[in-house]
Amino acid sequence: MCMRRGLVGLSFCTCYLAFYLTNKYVLSVLKFTYPTLFQGSNVLTWLPASVLFVGIIYAGSRALSRLAIPVFLTLHNAAEVIICGHQKCFRKEKTSPARICSALFLLAAAGCLPFNDAQFDPDGYFWAVIHLFCMGAYKILQKSQKPNALSDIDQQYLNYIFSVVLLAFASHPTGDLLSVLDFPFLYFYRFHGSCCASGFLGFFLMFSTAKLKSLMAPGQCAAWIFFAKSNQLWQGEQFFMEN
C-alpha cells in the first residue's frame, strides 16, 4: 500500500511538472495565446463551477504566457487566501492559526511581487488576478457541493466538455478564431505535438490528483502538492532560462 501511494504521488508530481512546462512552452516559446479547446440536476448545479473553470483556464493561459512560472504559481497559490477568508468570515468555520498564518504569508508574497518583479507586465498581472479569483470561487463552490452529488472525476469531465463548447462559441466574438489563422507556428509539428501533450498531461494530472485525494489523508496529499509545486518552481525556471 505504501509503495502504491508513493507511485501515485510520484506520478502526480511528474504530471504536474510536465503539464506546466508544456503549457509554458506553447504559450511563451511558441507564443500561442489563444484559448486551448482541448481543454441532469446535478449537472445544472455544477454549471456555475464549470463557468469558473473556463475562467481559470482562459485567464491562467493569458497570465502564464506573460509571467514567469514562479510568479504565476505564487499568484495562483494566493487563491488559498480567498478560500480561508470565506471559511473564516462567512461560514464561521474553525481555522487553525497555522493556516491563517500561511494565508497571510501567501497574501504578503503576492502583494510584494509587483514591486519586486524586474519583468513587471501589467496585463500578465491583470489576468493572474482574474485567474486567482476564479480559482478561489471555484474551490469554494466545489467544497459546498453535496458529497453524493458528483465525484471529482465527473466534475472534471463536465468542466472539460463545457470549456470546449463555451470557448468554441466565444472564439469568434473575442477575435481569437480569426487571429489564430495568423499564428506563425500553426502548421509546425512542435506546436501540434505540444498541444496534444498538454491535453494528455492535463487529463493525467486531473486523474492522478483525484487518485491522490482518494488514497491519502489530507495532510499527506497537501505535502505531495507542496513538493510538486516546489519542484515546478525550480525546474520550470531553470528549463526556460536554458531555452
Q: Where are the domains of the chain?
A: 1-32+183-243, 40-151
Cell numbers given for 50: 464549470
Residue 240, pLDDT > 50, answer: no
Which carries the bigger pLDDT value, residue 12 or residue 38?
Answer: 12
Cα separation, 131 vs 151, whole angstroms? 24
User: What's the pLDDT band for 36 if we cut at 50, 70, 90?
Assistant: very low
User: What's the pLDDT band for 109 if we cut at 50, 70, 90?
Assistant: confident
Residues comprising the chain, all counted: 243
Q: Which pLDDT value is given to residue 39? A: 39
Most confident of 22-26, 50-54, 150-154: 50-54
Cα separation, 51 vs 176, whole angstroms? 19
CA distances for 216 relative to 1, 145, 172, 213, angstroms: 11, 21, 43, 6
Q: Which pLDDT value is given to residue 239? A: 45
Cα separation, 115 vs 111, whole angstroms? 8
Which carries the bigger pLDDT value, residue 209 or residue 227?
Answer: 209
Average pLDDT over residues 170-186: 68
Considering the chain, what is the average pLDDT of its residues?
75
Q: Which residues contact 74 (CB under 8 A, 6 or more apart)?
A: 106, 109, 110, 113
Between the CA atoms of 219, 63, 22 and 183, what dihedral angle is there, to the nearest 10 degrees? Answer: 160
Q: Which pLDDT value is given to residue 242? A: 47
Residue 37, pLDDT > 60, answer: no
Which pTM value belongs to this model?
0.69
Average pLDDT over residues 23-37: 58
Which carries the bigger pLDDT value, residue 73 or residue 210?
Answer: 73
Average pLDDT over residues 52-75: 87
| Interior angle at CA 15, CA 230 and CA 99, nearest 5 | 40
CA distances for 180 relative to 36, 57, 114, 177, angstroms: 11, 18, 30, 6
